């Protein structure tokens, strides 16, 4: 029966069953139903274990996203309230013009962004993309891949070797933020980068970056960098030069093409390899550029005109309190005269500085109105930016004596008044002439020409130190002055600029001046914001005293301690000066057209090797002033005597031999007789250079000088 039952079952047609118990068919026992159902339950258990973890991760991500969005919004609103969500204008620039209209210097941004991406060869911007942000064209301001890579590399190396900032983030930092390395600043940087990407195209961002990034050596923006390093525009950069500049921005001080060419070349090689790896250039182009590295073409020494440019820049806040536009500053600086002064100072210091132990110098040239035509503040601006012409206070020595003698003339003495040159004692002080020789009775004009110390001290004792100080201040000395007899020997410190300005009244008819260089300032659109005007100071030296001073200081150049300054054809006067122990040497000289002062010495106030005012300073003065007077009409120095003085001033051979305080010019220089050349008469061939020849030879050999 069991068999027939199985047979009957076999003969019966069955429908396919998807679920047991559905439709017809035989129900299975409970045991049969449990076994098939057990198989699918195992994966359900695994999913049931993983699901809480997944759900927690989703929840955490959701909360983190909300938190990040909130933080992003908070930073965004904070930056917006601070007014940072806008591209700041570049700092207004300043263009400084010489007196002929040529450009002396440009500072800051005068015409906005200097270059456009469209004007540059493709390899210029691509060099920066390759080394700084290879995914620049694809990210949205922040590069997560770059951040992860930087974290990985820095973790493996154990130190900070890579940064994850994109070009856009670097631009945000340059435009808006301080260089502080804080978490808050990095978050702000990221938010600002996203804002930049939202509002500007990639080329706009890249253009802003190239024009605002710092390249070292005072160059902000790729155009300035190209000019400073390669003397060309950014549009003319070669591949090697572009790679070098791209390599500079990471560390301008250590990869500077000027200060460390090897480091710059090594960095440029890395840039070129990155460009090849990124497909910006071919391997062959990279190899060719690596084999021919760029060479910076700037000079090793920055021009000394930067001294006067800095001086002008320091004065701008006095003329224009607050400016939002770029400015055009018109000045009195004469480019040819400025170059001549720079070359003369550098030449003489280089030629004689080591031998005579003198390392620095300064020079100021101005006209009768006080307009500064040239200024040199030191031997090398690159090595030292300290402007000795305007800031170095040094003892003027005997170059201060004209104020002593002017006070004496104003108290009734004349150039022909006689004083006795003899040993003198003031309390415990016993001033001496350099050679400890004394001439006995001597005229004031001779005493000044030979720079006799005893006579100067006697004059101060006669008129009083206060009278001398009053004269010096009236003529333009602004520094405090010592109120005792030592003022006679120039012991109070002054700057070359103020001492030179104080000599101007001797050349212009007796009128004090204020040294200046700025004549007018305009905005870029032509609006005048400052213009120099005013009638100047009243006359401070009477005609009789002025005549006497110019008669005496003319003798300094024609027959005294300043004969090295003489050149033919012009009426020249001046005064040499040397401070104690030969620490400072001066010559301040003038004609009816120009006044110039020269100082040399050492910054540490150490003694020179007997350098005197009649040596290097007088030589520099002549080298600058002689060519400056070419084309000018000779005129006599101003002043008119109340009583005619027909006898020309002179220094006898014996007086010079015994009392000269500084060495004279070489016999080859012919100062001549100015009035004979100007009005005719006399023999031009018989010049004053033939006087005192033996005394001059001895003076040059012995390096005579006033103490």
* Residues 527-538 pLDDT 10s: 999 999 977 899
Lowest-pLDDT range of 255-264, 325-334, 484-493, 659-668: 659-668
Work out the average pLDDT over 265-278. Answer: 95
- Bigger pLDDT: 344 vs 218: 344
Provide the token pair at 424: 């003198």
CA distances from 659 to 434, 458, 471, 641, 648 (A): 8, 17, 27, 28, 20
Cα angle for residues 78, 79, 80 (degrees, 5° grid)? 90
Contacts of 402 (CB under 8 A, 6+ apart): 448, 503, 506, 549, 553, 575
- β-pairing, 360-367 vs 327-331, is unpaired
Contacts of 678 (CB under 8 A, 6+ apart): 571, 634, 636
Cα angle for residues 107, 111, 115 (degrees, 5° grid)? 100
CA distances from 583 to 160, 229, 397, 611 (A): 52, 39, 10, 8
Work out the average pLDDT over 678-703. Answer: 36
- The strand pairing partners of 587, in sequence order, are 576, 598
- Please state, in angstroms and rounded to a whole number, the distance separating the CA atoms of residues 667 and 690: 7
pLDDT, residue 701, reads 32
Question: Taking Cα atoms as reference points, which of 206, 205, 248 lies closest to residue 226?
Answer: 248
- Does residue 702 surpass a pLDDT of 50? no
State the greatest distance between any 2 C-alpha atoms of the chain, in Å, as a whole number: 173
- Bigger pLDDT: 70 vs 296: 296
- Does residue 237 surpass a pLDDT of 90? yes
- Please state, in angstroms and rounded to a whole number, the distance separating the CA atoms of residues 436 and 274: 77
Query: What confidence tier does 695 reach under pLDDT thresholds 50, 70, 90?
Result: very low
Return left, alpha or beta for 655; rule: phi > 0 is left, psi -120 to 50 is alpha, else beta: alpha
CA distances from 418 to 284, 422, 445, 446, 626 (A): 88, 12, 9, 9, 34
Q: Is 460 helix (H, G, I), strand (E, B) or coil?
A: helix
Question: Taking Cα atoms as reference points, which of 379, 433, 403, 434 lies closest to residue 601?
Answer: 379
Work out the average pLDDT over 684-691. Answer: 33
- Does residue 193 surpass a pLDDT of 90? no
Contacts of 243 (CB under 8 A, 6+ apart): 127, 268, 269, 271, 272, 275, 289, 294
Lowest-pLDDT range of 56-65, 72-81, 441-450, 635-644: 72-81
pLDDT, residue 675, reads 40
CB crowding 658-675: b at 16 or more within 10 Å, else e: bbbbbbbbebebbbbbbe
Query: What confidence tier does 298 reach under pLDDT thresholds 50, 70, 90?
Result: low
- Please state, in angstroms and rounded to a whole number, the distance separating the CA atoms of residues 707 and 704: 9
Work out the average pLDDT over 14-29. Answer: 40
Crossing angle of helices 465-475/453-463, nearest 10°?
100
- pTM value is 0.68
CB atoms within 10 A of CB 532: 15
Q: Please tell me the number of Cα atoms within 13 Å of 401 on its side-chain side.
A: 31
Contacts of 228 (CB under 8 A, 6+ apart): 215, 217, 218, 219, 298
- The strand pairing partners of 442, in sequence order, are 419
- β-pairing, 584-590 vs 418-421, is unpaired
- Bigger pLDDT: 544 vs 65: 544
Provide the token pair at 663: 């060495």
- β-pairing, 594-601 vs 360-367, is antiparallel
pLDDT, residue 668, reads 31
> To the nearest whole percent, how much of the chain has pLDDT over 90?
54
Which helix (H) or strand (E) is 291 found in, with range?
helix 283-291
Q: Is 599 helix (H, G, I), strand (E, B) or coil?
A: strand
- Does residue 602 surpass a pLDDT of 90? yes
- The pLDDT tens digits of the residues spanning 429-452 come to 988 887 778 889 999 999 999 999
pLDDT, residue 637, reads 96
Q: Are 324 and 93 contacting, i.e. CB atoms less than 8 angstroms apart?
A: no
Query: What confidence tier does 180 reach under pLDDT thresholds 50, 70, 90?
Result: low
- Please state, in angstroms and rounded to a whole number, the distance separating the CA atoms of residues 222 and 211: 6
Question: Taking Cα atoms as reference points, which of 235, 234, 229 lies closest to residue 217?
Answer: 229
CB atoms within 10 A of CB 425: 9
- Bigger pLDDT: 81 vs 498: 498
Most confident of 133-142, 308-317, 453-462: 453-462
Contacts of 428 (CB under 8 A, 6+ apart): none
Question: Taking Cα atoms as reference points, which of 458, 451, 417, 420 lies closest to residue 435?
Answer: 451
Work out the average pLDDT over 586-609. Answer: 97
- Does residue 168 surpass a pLDDT of 50? yes
To the nearest 10°, report the CA torsion of 350, 352, 353, 356: 170
Mean pLDDT of the chain: 81
Query: What confidence tier does 86 reach under pLDDT thresholds 50, 70, 90?
Result: low
Query: What confidence tier does 23 reach under pLDDT thresholds 50, 70, 90?
Result: very low
- Does residue 134 surpass a pLDDT of 50? yes
pLDDT, residue 18, reads 33
> To the nearest whole percent, how much of the chain has pLDDT over 70?
73
- The pLDDT tens digits of the residues spanning 642-684 come to 665 556 666 655 555 555 454 333 333 333 444 443 333 333 3
CB atoms within 10 A of CB 420: 13
CB atoms within 10 A of CB 520: 16
Provide the token pair at 252: 């301008």
- Does residue 465 surpass a pLDDT of 90? yes
pLDDT, residue 185, reads 61
pLDDT, residue 6, reads 39
Catalytic residues: 132, 398
- Does residue 10 surpass a pLDDT of 90? no
């Amino acid at each position: 029966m069991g068999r027939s039952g199985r047979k009957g079952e076999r003969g019966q047609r069955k429908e396919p069953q998807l679920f047991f118990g559905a439709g017809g068919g035989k129900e299975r026992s409970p045991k049969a139903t449990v076994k098939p159902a057990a198989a699918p339950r195992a994966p359900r258990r695994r999913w049931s274990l993983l699901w809480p973890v997944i759900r927690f991760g989703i929840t955490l991500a959701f909360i983190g996203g909300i938190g990040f969005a909130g933080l992003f919004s908070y930073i965004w609103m904070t930056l917006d309230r601070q007014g940072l969500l806008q591209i700041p204008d570049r700092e207004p620039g300043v263009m400084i013009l010489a007196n002929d209209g040529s450009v002396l210097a440009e500072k800051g941004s005068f015409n906005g962004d200097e270059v456009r991406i469209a004007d540059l060869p493709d390899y210029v911007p691509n060099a920066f993309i390759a080394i700084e942000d290879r995914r620049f064209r694809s990210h949205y301001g922040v590069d997560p891949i770059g951040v992860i890579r930087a974290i990985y590399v820095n973790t493996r190396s154990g130190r900070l070797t890579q940064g994850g900032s994109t070009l856009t983030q670097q631009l945000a930092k340059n435009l808006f933020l301080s260089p502080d390395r804080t978490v808050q600043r990095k978050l702000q940087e990221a938010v600002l980068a996203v804002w930049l990407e939202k509002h500007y195209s990639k080329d706009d961002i890249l253009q802003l970056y190239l024009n605002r990034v710092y390249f070292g050596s005072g160059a902000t923006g790729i155009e300035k960098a190209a000019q400073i390093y390669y003397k060309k525009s950014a549009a003319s950069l070669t591949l090697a030069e572009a790679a070098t500049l791209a390599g500079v921005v990471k560390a301008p001080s250590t990869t500077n093409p000027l200060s460390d060419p090897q480091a710059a070349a090594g960095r440029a090689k890395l840039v070129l390899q990155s460009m090849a790896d990124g497909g910006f250039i071919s391997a062959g182009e990279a190899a060719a550029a690596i084999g021919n590295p760029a060479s910076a073409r700037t000079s090793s020494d920055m021009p000394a005109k930067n001294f006067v440019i800095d001086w002008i820049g320091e004065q701008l806040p006095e003329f224009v309190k607050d400016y939002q536009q770029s400015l055009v500053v018109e000045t009195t600086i004469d480019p040819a005269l400025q170059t001549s002064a720079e070359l003369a100072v550098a030449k003489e210091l280089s030629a004689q500085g080591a031998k005579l132990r003198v390392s620095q110098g300064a020079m100021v040239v101005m006209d009768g109105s006080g307009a500064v035509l040239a200024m040199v503040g030191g031997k090398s601006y690159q090595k030292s930016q300290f402007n000795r012409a305007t800031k170095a206070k040094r003892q003027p020595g005997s170059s201060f004596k004209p104020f002593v003698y002017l006070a004496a003339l104003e108290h009734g003495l004349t150039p022909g008044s006689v004083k006795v040159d003899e040993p003198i004692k003031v309390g415990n002080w016993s001033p001496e002439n350099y050679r400890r020789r004394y001439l006995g009775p001597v005229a004031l004009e001779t005493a000044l020409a030979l720079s006799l110390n005893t006579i100067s001290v006697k004059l101060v004792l006669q008129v009083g130190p206060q009278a001398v100080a009053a004269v010096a201040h009236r003529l333009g000395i602004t520094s405090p002055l010592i109120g005792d007899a030592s003022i006679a020997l120039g012991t109070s410190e002054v700057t070359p600029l103020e001492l030179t300005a104080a000599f101007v009244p001797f050349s212009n008819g007796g009128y004090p001046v204020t040294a200046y260089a700025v004549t007018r300032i305009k905005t870029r659109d032509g609006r005048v914001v400052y213009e120099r005007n005013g009638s100047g100071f009243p006359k401070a030296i009477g005609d009789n005293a002025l005549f006497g001073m110019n008669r005496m200081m003319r003798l300094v150049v024609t027959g005294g301690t300043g004969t090295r300054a003489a050149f033919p054809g012009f009426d020249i006067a001046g005064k040499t000066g040397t401070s104690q122990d030969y620490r400072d040497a001066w010559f301040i000289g003038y004609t009816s057209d120009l006044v110039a002062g020269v100082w040399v010495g050492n910054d540490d106030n150490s003694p020179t090797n007997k350098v005197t005012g009649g040596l290097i300073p007088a030589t520099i003065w002549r080298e600058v002033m002689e060519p400056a007077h070419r084309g000018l009409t000779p005129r006599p120095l101003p002043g008119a005597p109340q009583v005619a003085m027909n006898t020309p001033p002179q220094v006898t051979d014996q007086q010079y031999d015994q009392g000269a305080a500084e060495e004279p010019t070489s016999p080859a220089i012919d100062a001549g007789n100015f009035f004979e050349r100007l009005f005719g008469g006399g023999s031009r061939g018989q010049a004053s250079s033939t006087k005192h020849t033996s005394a001059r030879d001895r003076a040059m050999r012995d390096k005579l000088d006033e103490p």
